[in-house]
């Protein structure tokens, strides 16, 4: 089983959307559709259970990332 964080899963969904039109053979199309459905189902499950991919959750993630970045910036006193 692959273990993706929310942003990795979101990136995978983007990649699947971008490559959909490049599938030409029946098997490719079916596998692509199957993988895309699994990604979308997992994203929906996370949205319902953790609030992932909602505006509120995105805001909270951005705030956390900003706090981490600010910790790395050396402070100048005076």
pTM higher than 0.85? no
Asked if the model's pLDDT at residue 78 lies above 80, the reply is no
Domain residue ranges of the chain, discontinuous segments joined by +: 28-71
Contacts 24+ apart (CB under 8 A), 35-42: 39/9, 39/12, 39/13, 40/13, 42/9
**Alpha carbon distance 4, 38 (integer Å):** 13
* pLDDT tens digits, 6-18: 989 999 999 999 9
Q: What's the pLDDT tens digit per position in 32-45?
A: 999 999 999 999 99
Once rounded to an integer, what is the mean pLDDT over residues 49-53?
90
Q: Are 29 and 16 in contact (CB under 8 A)?
A: no
Q: Is a pLDDT exceeding 80 seen at residue 77?
A: no
């Amino acid at each position: 089983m692959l273990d993706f964080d929310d942003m990795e899963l979101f990136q995978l969904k983007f990649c699947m959307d971008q490559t959909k039109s490049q599938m030409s053979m029946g098997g490719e199309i079916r596998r692509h559709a199957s993988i895309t459905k699994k990604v979308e189902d997992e994203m929906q499950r996370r949205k319902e259970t953790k609030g992932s991919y909602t505006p509120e959750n995105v805001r909270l993630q951005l705030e956390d990332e900003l706090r981490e970045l600010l910790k790395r910036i050396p402070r100048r006193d005076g």
